[in-house]
Amino acid sequence: MPKATFYANQAATIIKNLEKRNMEGYYCPDAASAVEKALSMMPEQSVISWGGSMTLTEIGLMEQIKKQNYVVIDRMLANTPEERQKVYGQTVLADYFLMSTNAITLDGQLVNIDGAGNRVACLIHGPKNVLILAGMNKVCPDLESAFKRVKNCATPPNTVRLNCKTPCAVTGVCGDCLTPETICCQEVITRYSRIKGRIKVILIGEEYGY
């Protein structure tokens, strides 16, 4: 299949470029093999947490994580601001932090935009390992197109999902808003990992998330 070969070729290019940036890259052709790969990378009893991601749920990884012999830190179980703060403290100390990425460039840079910022904070520093799972729909040629993708393809459906009062939730187009409910508070480019191999990216030869 031409598309499968194209995805594999494109992923091989990105993986080489991730290596130059001290990050590890892997390619799995489908969700099942990506879940198997992710589980094989995390030893039993690892402390695992995650940031908000449609991809992790869609590929079935979250379901598997909860069935395996892991110590799971789930911020959704926190009911009060105090509990959320405590869970965030535990998340920062996790062995593995799971997330997707809003975009990844062909030269291996990650682009992520956050509201609260807990997800990008853990990407930048804290958890021992960050494991990123991303469908090939997240691939963009360069940083400019990556930001366009995030603002016009990824964020508008998220604001609809989260019922945010933002221009993009109504028009489907980024209005570069400065409203209290914007989910574009932090814009982070990850161009290099100070700790070699801390950030691991599994590219999946299918389309997942926004």
Residue of 148, 147, 65 lying closest to 99 (CA atoms): 65
Answer yes or no whether residue 159 interacts with ligand SF4 by CB under 6 A.
Answer: yes
Q: For 184, list phi and psi in degrees, rounded to 5.
A: -110, 60
Hey, what amino acid is at 204? I
Contact letters for ligand SF4, residues 106-145 (x by CB under 6 A): ----------------------------------------
Total residues contacting ligand SF4 (rule CB under 6 A)?
13
Among 119, 138, 149, 151, binds ligand SF4 (CB under 6 A): 151
Closer residue to ligand SF4 (CB): 48 or 154: 154
Identify how many contiguous H helices and E strands the chain contains and give both numbers.
Answer: 9, 10
Token match 């993708």: residue? 149
SS (H, E, C) 115-128: CCCHHHHHHHCCCC
Q: State the Cα–Cα distance between residues 101 and 146, nearest whole angstrom.
A: 11
Answer yes or no whether residue 103 interacts with ligand SF4 by CB under 6 A.
Answer: no
Smallest gap from Cβ 175 to ligand SF4, in A, equals 4
* Binding segment (CB under 6 A) for ligand SF4, from list 66-74, 135-143, 170-178, 199-207: 170-178
Answer yes or no whether residue 167 interacts with ligand SF4 by CB under 6 A.
Answer: yes
CA 127 to chain CA mean position, Å = 14
Interaction site with ligand SF4 (CB under 6 A): 151, 155, 159, 166-168, 174-177, 182-184
